[in-house]
Amino acid sequence: MISVSHLTKFYGPRKAIDDLSFEVQKGEIVGFLGPNGAGKSTTMKILTGFMPATDGKAVVAGHDVFEDPISVKRNVGYLPETPPVYTEMKVKDYLEFTGKLHQVPTTSLSKSVKNAIERTSLGDVQNRLIGNLSKGYRQRVGLAQALLHNPKVLILDEPTVGLDPKQIIEIRELIKSLGGDHTVILSSHILPEVTAICQRIIVLARGKIAAEDSLEGLTMRMKKGLIYSMEVKKPSSEGVDAIRKIPGISGVSSNGSKLLVEMTAGSRDVRDQVVEMAVNRGMGVLEFSPEKVSLEEIFLQLTTEENHSAAAHAGGM
Amino acid sequence: MFRNIWTIAQRDFRSYFTSPIAYVVIGAFMSIVGFMFFFNLDHYVRQMAFSAMGNKGVSVTDGIVRPFYGNMNVILLFIAPMITMRLFSEEKKMHTIELLMTSPLTLTEIIVGKFCSAMLLVGVMLLVTSIYPIVLFSAFTPDYGPIVCSYVGTFLLAGCYMAVGLFLSSMTENQVVAAASTFGVGLMFWIISWAASAAGPFWSGLLTNLSLIGRFNNFGQGLLNSADIFFYLSYIFVGLFLTHRVMDSYRWR
Ligand SMILES: Nc1ncnc2c1ncn2[C@@H]1O[C@H](COP(=O)(O)OP(=O)(O)O)[C@@H](O)[C@H]1O
Ligand SMILES: [Mg+2]
């Protein structure tokens, strides 16, 4: 349904995304996970046909984004980072307008609007001015707009930002229910969010794909090949060899007083034995800490505390 | 195609009336135009009184119709910024431009739709001013040619102002900047038309041909000249074309 190859985008001299390639199958829900500035929004803007890429190719719903943007736009529902709402319009009028923009036939327009209002629980505010609604409601109006014309592909940029915890759960359920009929890409910088909704996760960092896997796969990768760095007072080759022989250790490299210890993926935790051995051989352990694996570094920048993020974003409704 | 243009035009036209803009614009326009009309009428009636004493009279066309529509054009020039300032600036500022530009509409349809919304408002305003010629017909027997042609000319001329305003609105996300620059350009047009009437014969002819307001003279005399119409239409075309260029490059940023 979506096929991206070697996509690159420069803003002036600044590279925002760098040689991205990935595929999304029909009916999949895929999450772009990455810290702020990773290039999530930029990638989405290119996929919706809003913005041309500097280089590379993207095919959405069978149409090339650069050669036939109008056909792509017809098949895509897009919720940008900021909900694109007209504050001087009423919710219902606004949705009618966006339906017309997407060329929903006049005969089914009011039905589509009603349906979108129902799915996003906007019934209570449908006759209110959007300008008088809270951020959370505006976000839902934006989502209703994206769903309204029943597009094949939904591209949702941080869809739950600004919602309170209860609404977040509702919207997640809604997005989950969209999978199967629709192909969904959503972005988030909140780890539990993507793990709750998505079947597959693409981790973006500094414009590159750092990892692309299912949730289980990502967890595995995180564990695979854990590397620890150990600083010692008196390094000795005899001590290094002894550590190397501990079962579960796949390699040790030494560089002066700094040793790198690699542990076999999925083996039991032998950190205590490593330290013990180093002390026994008289090397004198000064420091023992995990060496930064790139993925972990990225994950550290993500918001991992669900409640924290929800509380930070929850503007009262 | 037309349906898409109409979708845009309709929304923008309605949104004029959800803010005070349309009411302020129409109110200001109508009161100034009304004042001008009665001022011209009063002046003319006094002249008539003179001519009754043996001087050769001035026609209604020269005495009322031409100055009236001439003044109306200048007023439109100063009101144009208020009509066009939000058309693109506001969309950029509120991020709704992303909605329009990710919908299956071409940029041309969006721009023409917005231009039409402005022209619709101008059309409504001009329609309301038709009460003044009706007043004239009830009291005098003016030629209707110059009146009809003045409306055609005024509408086209207003189209040029709107095209300039739309272009400048596409350049910024700040409405005030859009309005001020449109106002500045309008002022320049007006000054050129002054210079045209003040300069020597050669320069005067050239400037009148180039100046938007100068081009209006023929319409005021009841002449529909294809060269004049073409001049205005190409002016509008260039304005919309430049808007297209600006909005297209906006996406690349
Ligand atoms: N309009 C722009 N002009 C210049 N740089 C931009 C623009 N938009 C985004 N960037 C830069 O591109 C990078 C990726 O941004 P973005 O796609 O918004 O990331 P994300 O959505 O993951 O937070 C960032 O470094 C950001 O500063
Ligand atoms: Mg973003």
A98 vs B contacts (CB less than 8 Å): 99, 103
- Gap from B100 CA to chain A (nearest CA, Å): 8
Distance A203 CA to ligand 2 centre (A): 14
Of B98, B101, B103, the CB nearest to A102: B103
pLDDT in tens, B89-102: 999 999 999 999 99
pLDDT tens per residue, chain A (317 residues)?
899 999 999 998 999 999 999 999 999 999 999 888 899 999 999 999 999 999 999 999 999 999 999 999 999 999 999 999 999 999 999 999 999 999 999 999 999 999 999 999 899 999 999 999 988 899 999 999 999 999 999 999 999 887 888 888 888 988 998 888 899 999 998 877 888 888 888 988 888 888 787 776 666 556 556 778 888 998 888 888 999 888 888 778 777 788 888 777 677 788 888 899 999 988 889 988 876 555 566 666 665 555 444 444 443 33
A168 with A231, same domain: the answer is no
Please answer whether residues A231 and A189 qualify as being in contact, where contact means their C-beta atoms are separated by less than 8 angstroms: no
Q: B8 to chain A: nearest residue by CA?
A: A101
A165 lies in some domain: yes
Residues around ion ligand 2, judged by CB within 5 A, are A 40-41
Tokens representing residue A282 in the block:
């008289």
A269 lies in some domain: yes
A12 lies in some domain: yes
Q: Do A80 and B95 touch (CB under 8 A)?
A: yes
Q: What is the CATH number of the domain that holds A180?
A: 3.40.50.300
Q: Which pTM was predicted?
A: 0.83
Q: Tokens 């890409």 appear where?
A: A185
Predicted pLDDT of residue A308: 45
* The last residue of a domain, from among A158, A191, A219: A219
Burial annotation B177-208 (CB, 10 A radius, 16+ → b, else e) = ebbebbbebbeebbebbeebeeeeeeeeeebb
Contacts with B124 (C-beta within 8 Å, 6 or more apart), sequence order:
B26
Question: CA B227 to CA B233: how far, in whole Å?
Answer: 10
A170 with A230, same domain: the answer is no
Q: Is A199 helix (H, G, I), strand (E, B) or coil?
A: coil
Q: What's the one-letter identity of residue A55?
A: D
- A258-263 and A2-11 as β-strands: parallel, antiparallel, unpaired? unpaired
Angle, CA of A43, A44 and A47, to the nearest 5°: 90
Of A11, A89, A100, the CB nearest to B7: A100
Pocket of ligand 1 (CB under 6 A): A 11, 14, 16, 34, 36-42; B 253
Of A45, A73, A97, the CB nearest to B11: A97
ipTM summary value: 0.89
B106 vs A contacts (CB less than 8 Å): 70
Structural domains counted in chain A? 2
Q: What is the CATH number of the domain that holds A229?
A: 3.30.70.100
Predicted pLDDT of residue B44: 83
pLDDT in tens, B22-56: 899 899 999 999 998 888 888 888 877 777 655 56
A300 lies in some domain: no
Q: Which atom of ligand 1 is nearest to the CA of A40?
A: 22
Of A82, A102, A145, the CB nearest to B95: A82
Distance A200 CA to ligand 1 centre (A): 23
pLDDT in tens, B198-247: 777 777 777 777 778 888 888 988 888 899 999 999 999 999 999 999 99
For residue A79, give the H/E element and its range: strand A76-79
B250 vs A contacts (CB less than 8 Å): none
Interface test with B, best of A85, A101, A138 (most B CBs within 10 A): A101
SS (H, E, C) chain B: CHHHHHHHHHHHHHHHCCCCHHHHHHHHHHHHHHHHHHHHHHHHHHHHHHHHCCCCCCCHHHHHHHHHHHHHHHHHHHHHHHHHCHHHHHHHHHCHHHHHHCCCCCHHHHHHHHHHHHHHHHHHHHHHCCHHHHHHHHHCCCCHHHHHHHHHHHHHHHHHHHHHHHHHHHCCCCHHHHHHHHHHHHHHHHHHHHHHHHCCHHHHHHHHHHCCCHHHHHHHCCCCCHHHHHHHHHHHHHHHHHHHHHHHHHHHC
Question: CA A104 to CA B13: how far, in whole Å?
Answer: 21
A84 vs B contacts (CB less than 8 Å): 94-99
Predicted pLDDT of residue A213: 74
Does A85 reach chain B within 8 Å, measured CB to CB?
yes
State how far the alpha carbon of B8 is from the alpha carbons of B97, B100, B125, in Å: 12, 9, 20
A194 with A239, same domain: the answer is no
Its domain, for residue A284, covers: 224-290
Question: CA B23 to CA A183: how far, in whole Å?
Answer: 46
A274 lies in some domain: yes
A313 lies in some domain: no
A100 lies in some domain: yes
Minimum CA distance residue for ligand 1 atom 8: A42
A307 lies in some domain: no
Question: CA B248 to CA B253: how far, in whole Å?
Answer: 10
Does A90 reach chain B within 8 Å, measured CB to CB?
no
Q: What percent of chain B has pLDDT over 70?
A: 97
A126 with A207, same domain: the answer is yes
Q: Which atom of ligand 1 is nearest to the CA of A42?
A: 17
Predicted pLDDT of residue B159: 96
**Structural domain boundaries in chain B:** 2-251
Q: Of B239, B80, B119, B109, which Cα lies nearest the Cα of B171? A: B239
* Residues in chain B, overall count: 253
A235 with A215, same domain: the answer is no
